[in-house]
Structure 1
Amino acid sequence: MPSSASAGRSALLIIDMQVGMFNGPQKPYEGQRVLATINTLIAKAREAGAPIFAVRHTGPLGSPLEPGSALSQLLPELAVDAVTDTVFDKARPSCFAGTGLAGWLADAGVAELVIAGMKTEYCVDTTCRAAAELGFRPVLVADGHTCMDTPVLPAQAIIAHHNRTLSGPFVQLVSAADCLFVQQSA
């Protein structure tokens, strides 16, 4: 794994932007804006030659999000290219748990991981923390992640809380407009 002090290239990680979560009964906060922001990040990553990873959360067989189900698929409006980008499944909140993500990033010389997607308080939060623990430099796009209202807090407060909590100890927080993809080799 890269150390936090090492140089290295950037990659984009898009978390759980899939049909069943985005278009479910509870709509994500500012979902269309976040989707457009993520598509802008994809374009920036492509222009810089940065690898793009898109992960789908899957549930057990027989569940609405079982692997391969219509609801587990990435949003068709998402500008991910299944031929050139790496699309993979996970069954845990961390994009690293039970997947090959850490190895793929290391093999590609990635040190900095730009993170966007949903849901803020679950998979985005967990992946940010895990990336830092694994020695990557996580960059959370402050306006590139979302979630739904809960009985306890509105989504806007959840997002603001996580941006503040994660910034510094766990991630570098940037806006999509200020997000750059570094392409130095390690």
Structure 2
Amino acid sequence: MAARTALFVIDIQNELAVNDDTRIPHAERIRNSGEKILQAARTVIDSYREKAATSPFIIVFVQHEDSCLVVGSKPWELVFKPRPNVEQEILISKKTSDTFESNPDLALRLRTLNIEKIVAFGLQSEYCVEATCKGALEAGFNVTLLTGAHSTYDTSEKTALDIENEVEERLLSLGAQIASWEKLSFA
């Protein structure tokens, strides 16, 4: 079986991406880019499903849970959800920033699916996105972070855009690739 890619959709949940009182400043950009990324990935997945062939991609929806993101609550709900009965779309819950740390068997599970590369986007850049990318690198996966498709909150010292750039620089220095989501090809 040929090497495959897992598209990680990290913590795009109502609390961070939809709720008027708590969403990040660039929530609309993340929702719009996420919608287009998922549409392209699903088009490829569906074309392989129609042929009963193995798709070169799977989609991993990551959902954080903690004291603010309580399981079953409206803030905890995902903006983008896996489609029912589509085995190439899986849901992974986590309780720490690093999806791999929260799910010690995840790397092995992905390897059994012949996943070699992780392409990631989502929320928040300096927390769950960066930690999950680092976890994937440490587990031996090739990692690409999609610039323009991850973000966070402004702080008193830095804008969200500054933080996005810093995260990209740190991950690049660790061996990740950075690519524009608009140039992402699922062909």
Would you tell me which structure has more helix in proportion to its own residues?
Answer: 2
Three-state SS of the structure 2 residue aligned to 1:71 is coil
Aligned equivalents of 1:155, 1:82: Cα separation in 2: 34
Aligned equivalents of 1:92, 1:64: Cα separation in 2: 13
Once the two structures are TM-superposed, the CA of residue 70 in structure 1 deviates from its matched residue by 2.0
Amino acid at match of 2:30: V
TM-score by length of 1: 0.83
- The equivalent of 2:94 in structure 1 is 90
Question: How large is the Cα RMSD of the aligned pairs?
Answer: 1.9
Query: In the alignment, does 2:135 pair up with 1:130?
Result: yes
- The equivalent of 2:12 in structure 1 is 17
Aligned length: 171
Once the two structures are TM-superposed, the CA of residue 174 in structure 1 deviates from its matched residue by 0.4
Deviations 1:124-164 (A, max 9, x none): 11111111110100110011101111122111110111122
Contact residue 15 and residue 117 of structure 1 kept, 8 A: yes
Query: In the alignment, does 2:58 pair up with 1:54?
Result: no
Unaligned runs of 5+ in 1: 1-6
Deviations 1:7-46 (A, max 9, x none): 7111100000001222343432321122111121112222
Once the two structures are TM-superposed, the CA of residue 168 in structure 1 deviates from its matched residue by 4.5
Amino acid at match of 1:20: E
Q: Which has the higher contact order (CA 8 A, sep 6+)?
A: 1
Query: In the alignment, does 2:83 pair up with 1:81?
Result: yes
- The equivalent of 1:28 in structure 2 is 24
User: Matched residues, percent identical?
Assistant: 26
TM-score by length of 2: 0.83
- The equivalent of 2:52 in structure 1 is none
